[in-house]
């Protein structure tokens, strides 16, 4: 029997009636503000070409590792879900894959994925009955019908979602063709790129050699000499700024930084490109390159994002068969105090540099990250991220960082998603949780109501726009 799909208007608000009423009032003022999404992994080609998506499986299931990792954990074969392998997409009927997902929706009870999905189903597609085994085909057919209409093309949904700014992520080995097509199209949506140089920094990445060759081709520099390699980065950063980028992105295994002399750095680079490196050399090179990227950010004004601490591709068999980003990345303990000191010794007091720190290790919020951001002018704290962008994770973040770093050393929310349709849902969750947190402070007489109202606006829009220099004339001038 089909069950109703109900989005309670008070979801995620405090259960105490007095505090809930305050949260409602705060939320009403910011619920419809435009979305600022400064860090994500959506496909720029969607907006460049504005091509219709084909079906629910291709749009909502196959690209979303939050969803299929849960199904995989229960023994469901990824082939049954139409998840692409290295050798190509399995010959799985998309409808059959969707039915498997629908039959197992109960696995997501209590998870943020379930909240996001229900929001998408109700608010984007207009369903009034819940997804389940008995409604799987209704969902599949209805979604396919809507996706075929102009109102569900990528650009139309971008406008419908009130997205004011959306950043994708590309590497220096990418040609940015999709971003050039967006700008040439005359469409008004602001979709920009983000410079993620990991592909030509992490020598342990299986595609490092190919990325370096492409890096050389795109820049015309001798990227196998230290001088030419740094020059190539500067050229590509300029290309990215011309495509609207305001930020860089660095997903290293650790937060290690280094401050080698030019002679030492050149000798280390010689080992990297000469194939004589060890694992320790690879880690030291990544560490040195974070400091080099910081120096370049001082030059060109781009904001750095550092989000370390993930053991990538922990499942060796799955990595061999399906490749990266298949839900097998696992958080690790991460040190920031010692790891960042070489970079901070050089740039910590700079007001020209802005670094946003993320973590998957919540134990460092109060012990390391909040005290660091509460001292160094160049540091800000990114929001609860990846495994922790849940209501509980967002509350823990506020509770563990506000007392030391305050609100103004944080940067609002970013969704960090590949699942485009979940962007409004994720931002709505963050807005509701923040309003609940602020409401508690008002109820406890720790904030005046007008201060909470100002902070709700800041946490939704103001902090993120300033932290990522989205409206910065300085960035625009340097790009020009």
- List, in order, residues 6 or more apart from 375 with CB less than 8 Å away: none
User: Which single residue is written with the structure tokens 């990846």?
Assistant: 386
Check residue 471 and report its DSSP letter. Answer: T
- What is the model's pTM? 0.96
**For residue 457, what is the enclosing H or E element?**
helix 449-457
**Structure-derived torsion over alpha carbons of residues 414, 389, 158, 190, reported in degrees to the nearest 10:** 10
Q: Domain 52-151: which topology?
A: uronate isomerase, domain 2, chain A (1.10.2020)
Domain ranges of the chain: 52-151, 154-479
Q: Domain 154-479: which topology?
A: TIM Barrel (3.20.20)
Q: Is 77 left (phi over 0), alpha (psi -120 to 50) or beta?
A: beta
CATH topology identical between 52-151 and 154-479: no
pLDDT at position 89:
85
- C-alpha distances in Å from residue 224, one per residue of 198, 199, 228, 327, 462: 16, 15, 7, 34, 42
- C-alpha distances in Å from residue 244, one per residue of 38, 367, 427: 11, 36, 22
Structure tokens at 109: 């009870």
pLDDT at position 236:
98
- List, run by run, the mean pLDDT of 10-residue segments along the chain (480 residues): 91 98 98 97 96 95 92 96 91 96 97 97 98 98 98 98 98 97 96 98 97 98 98 98 98 98 98 98 98 98 97 94 93 97 97 97 98 98 95 98 98 94 97 98 98 98 98 56
pLDDT at position 474:
56
* 35-37 β-sheet, strand order: 35-37, 163-167, 191-192
């Amino acid at each position: 029997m089909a069950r109703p799909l109900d989005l309670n208007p008070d979801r995620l608000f405090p259960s105490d009636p007095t505090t809930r009423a305050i949260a409602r009032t705060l939320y009403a003022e910011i619920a419809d503000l435009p979305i600022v999404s400064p860090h994500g992994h959506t496909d720029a080609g969607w907006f460049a070409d504005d091509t219709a998506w084909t079906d629910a499986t291709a749009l909502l299931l196959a690209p979303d590792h939050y969803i299929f990792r849960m199904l995989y954990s229960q023994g469901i074969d990824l082939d049954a879900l139409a998840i692409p392998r290295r050798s190509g997409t399995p010959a799985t009927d998309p409808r059959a894959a969707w039915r498997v997902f629908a039959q197992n929706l109960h696995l997501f009870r209590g998870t943020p994925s379930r909240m996001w999905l229900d929001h998408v189903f109700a608010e984007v597609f207009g369903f009034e009955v819940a997804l389940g085994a008995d409604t799987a085909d209704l969902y599949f057919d209805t979604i396919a019908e809507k996706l075929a209409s102009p109102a569900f093309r990528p650009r139309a949904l971008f406008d419908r979602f009130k997205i004011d700014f959306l950043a994708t992520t590309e590497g220096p080995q990418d040609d940015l063709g999709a971003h050039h097509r967006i700008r040439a199209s005359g469409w008004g949506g602001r979709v920009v790129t983000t410079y993620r140089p990991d592909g030509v920094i992490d020598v342990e990445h299986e595609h490092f050699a190919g990325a370096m060759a492409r890096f050389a081709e795109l820049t015309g520099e001798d990227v196998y000499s230290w001088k030419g390699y740094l020059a190539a980065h500067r050229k590509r950063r300029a290309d990215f700024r011309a495509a609207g980028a305001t930020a860089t992105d660095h997903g290293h295994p650790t937060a290690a930084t280094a401050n080698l002399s030019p002679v030492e750095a050149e000798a280390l680079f010689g080992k990297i490109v000469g194939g004589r490196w060890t694992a320790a050399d690879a880690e030291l090179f990544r560490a040195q390159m974070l400091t080099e990227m910081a120096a370049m950010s001082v030059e060109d004004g781009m904001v750095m994002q550092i989000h370390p601490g993930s053991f990538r591709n922990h499942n060796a068999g799955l990595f061999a068969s399906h490749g990266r980003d298949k839900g097998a990345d696992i958080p690790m303990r991460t040190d920031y105090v010692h790891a960042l000191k070489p970079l901070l010794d050089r740039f910590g007091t700079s007001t020209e540099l802005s670094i946003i720190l993320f973590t998957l290790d919540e134990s460092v919020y109060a012990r390391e990250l909040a005290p660091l951001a509460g001292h160094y002018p160049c540091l800000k704290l990114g929001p609860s991220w990846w495994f922790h962008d849940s209501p509980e994770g967002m509350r823990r973040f506020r509770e563990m960082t506000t007392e030391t770093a305050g609100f103004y050393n944080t940067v609002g929310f970013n969704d960090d998603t590949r699942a485009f349709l979940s962007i409004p849902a994720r931002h709505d969750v963050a807005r509701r949780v923040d309003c609940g947190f602020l409401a508690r402070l008002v109820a406890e007489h720790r904030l005046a109501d007008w201060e909470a109202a100002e902070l709700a606006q800041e946490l939704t829009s103001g902090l993120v726009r300033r932290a990522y220099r989205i409206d910065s004339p300085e960035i625009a001038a340097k790009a020009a």
